[in-house]
Amino acid sequence: NGAINDTHYLIVIPRVFRAGTTHNIGINIFGRIPCDVGLRLFDPINRGVIRQAWGHFQPNEAGMLELQVPEGLYKPRVLATVCGKTTEKTVGYEALSKKIFIQTDKPIYKPGQKVLIRIIFVNSQLHADGKKVSSVTVQ
């Protein structure tokens, strides 16, 4: 949050950005003057802006900007420009983790019974990722 002349603003961003997702960033402009707001995702390693979103916001109306977060970042920074003034914030970053869903044909087995399982790789929205498992070893 901050202030520019008589215009105050509030930008709500998550503490941690997750790779491969789109985040809705809350924008509020308080005062009497409409304002252009820009968000840029900056990669300090490659020293460049990798994603950006811009919008025009009316005073005393809540709004949103969508910011897509790609994979492969390290300590990204968010640059917020409100009415021509830029501020900077470092945010956390969480890489995509591989998730596996394991399903069995029944909840309880007796000793010696054959166990049938299905293994599915899933993405962050828990949809099938499409990768095939060729073999599994159970010990």
For the chain, the average pLDDT equals 84
pLDDT of 107 higher than 70: yes
Does a structural domain hold residue 48? yes
In this prediction, residues 77-106 reach a mean pLDDT of 85
Domains: count for the chain: 1
Q: How remote is the C-alpha of 85 from its chain's centroid?
A: 25
Does a structural domain hold residue 35? yes
pLDDT of 23 higher than 70: yes
Which residues have CB under 8 Å from 112's CB, separation 6+?
none
**pTM exceeding the 0.75 threshold for the entire prediction:** no
Closest CA to 80 of 136, 21, 124, 28: 28
Does a structural domain hold residue 100? no
Cβ(52)–Cβ(39) below 8 Å: yes
Does a structural domain hold residue 23? yes
- In this prediction, residue 38 carries a pLDDT of 92
CATH number at residue 17: 2.60.40.2950
Does a structural domain hold residue 58? yes
Question: What percentage of the chain exceeds 70 in pLDDT?
Answer: 92
The amino acid that residue 40 corresponds to is R
Distance CA 103, CA 123 (A): 16
- Strands 77-82 and 99-104: what pairing? unpaired
Domain enclosing residue 21, as ranges: 9-94
Element (H, E) at 133: none
pLDDT of 39 higher than 80: yes
Structure tokens at 53: 């979103």
- In this prediction, residue 97 carries a pLDDT of 66
In this prediction, residues 52-57 reach a mean pLDDT of 92
Does a structural domain hold residue 18? yes
Does a structural domain hold residue 102? no
Does a structural domain hold residue 124? no
- In this prediction, residue 26 carries a pLDDT of 92
If pLDDT is split at 50, 70 and 90, which confidence band does 54 have?
A: very high
Element (H, E) at 67: strand 62-69
Q: How remote is the C-alpha of 80 from its chain's centroid?
A: 17
Closest CA to 136 of 92, 104, 94, 88: 104
